[in-house]
């Protein structure tokens, strides 16, 4: 399932399996709430490396500014994507039934020097959306304003 919002995507979301989708709906819902256009692709670095390569290498040319990569278990996807793009990559380690997501977290966060993947909490899909929007907000005032409003809403609540 490959999808995108109608406006040109600024965030590229990739996940290793459609089984990650229920958690990652927390990311798309937050991006929708913040008004950030995104594209979404399901592709595994293990099962379909050619598709991951092509998608990651062409992301910047499509106008994508930040990538969110979600994967569970041997979660190499974010690192592989980071190898093929100059864009910042935010990893979302998926909770797993066997090792509770510690497997995903450690395989995602322990990147070799020179190829960073910024990693949120296990199942931290919403925070990945907020962090991606904050990165956009560094240069795009409308997204800085959206984050400022989110903070006001949280304080109010």
Ligand X SMILES: Nc1c(C(=O)O)ncn1[C@@H]1O[C@H](COP(=O)(O)O)[C@@H](O)[C@H]1O
Q: Which residues are annotated as a binding site for substrate?
A: 17, 20, 47
Cβ 156 to ligand X shortest distance, Å: 35
Are the beta carbons of 135 and 88 closer than 8 angstroms?
Answer: yes
* Binding residue ranges: 17, 20, 47
Instruction: Establish if 76 lies at the interface with ligand X (CB under 6 A).
Output: yes
Instruction: Establish if 45 lies at the interface with ligand X (CB under 6 A).
Output: yes
Instruction: Establish if 44 lies at the interface with ligand X (CB under 6 A).
Output: yes
Q: Residue 46 class from Cβ within 10 Å (0-12 exposed, 13-18 middle, 19+ buried)?
A: middle
Instruction: Establish if 72 lies at the interface with ligand X (CB under 6 A).
Output: yes
Tell me the angle at which helices 125-137 and 141-156 cross, rounded to the nearest 10 degrees: 130
Strand residues in the chain grouped as ranges (E): 3-4, 11-15, 38-42, 66-71, 89-93, 118-119
Q: Per CB under 6 A, which region of 6-14, 31-39, 41-49, 131-139 contacts ligand X?
A: 41-49
Instruction: Establish if 16 lies at the interface with ligand X (CB under 6 A).
Output: yes
Binding to ligand X, residues 109-138 (CB under 6 A): none
């Amino acid at each position: 399932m490959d999808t995108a919002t109608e406006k040109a995507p600024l965030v590229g979301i990739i996940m290793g399996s459609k089984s990650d989708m229920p958690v990652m709906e927390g990311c798309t819902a937050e991006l929708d709430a913040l008004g950030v256009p995104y594209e979404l692709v399901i592709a595994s670095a293990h099962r379909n490396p050619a598709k991951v390569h092509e998608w990651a290498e062409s992301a910047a040319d499509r106008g994508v500014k930040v990538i969110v990569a979600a994967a569970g278990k041997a979660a190499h996807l974010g690192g592989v994507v980071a190898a093929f793009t100059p864009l910042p990559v935010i990893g979302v380690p998926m909770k797993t039934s066997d090792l509770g997501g510690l497997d995903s977290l450690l395989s995602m966060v322990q990147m070799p020097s020179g190829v960073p993947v910024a990693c949120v909490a296990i199942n931290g899909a919403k925070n990945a959306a907020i962090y991606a929007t904050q990165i956009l907000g560094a240069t795009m005032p409308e997204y800085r304003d959206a984050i400022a409003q989110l903070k006001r809403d949280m304080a109010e609540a």
